[in-house]
Amino acid sequence: MIIKNLQKGKEILKEIDTLTLSNVEHLISVRKITTAEGISILNDTTFAAKIAEELIGAVEVIFSKDISN
């Protein structure tokens, strides 16, 4: 059950990445943010998503060990 929820978390991270890109593109096109600000947002979002993926991976390892014991 927990592993299935973690997989869902990974899927949500991918959706957030797609939505963020779309939103940043829109904000740049309507001149609400600069290209440099958009790049910064995308870099920050990617970094945060990578951290979340690593945490999910660590939790998967911990729970898979608990299940096998």
User: Could you report the per-residue pLDDT of 1-55, keeping only the tens digit for each?
Assistant: 677 788 888 899 989 999 999 999 999 999 999 999 999 999 999 999 999 999 9
pLDDT at 10: 86
Determine the pLDDT at residue 24. Answer: 98
Q: How many other CB atoms are there within 10 angstroms of residue 67's CB atom?
A: 9
Integer Cα distance of 60 and 65 in angstroms: 8
pLDDT of residue 67: 59
- Report pTM: 0.77
Give the per-residue pLDDT at 1.
63
d(CA 38, CA 25): 8
Residue 8: CB atoms within 10 Å:
11
Q: From CA 9, how far away is CA 17, in angstroms rounded?
A: 12
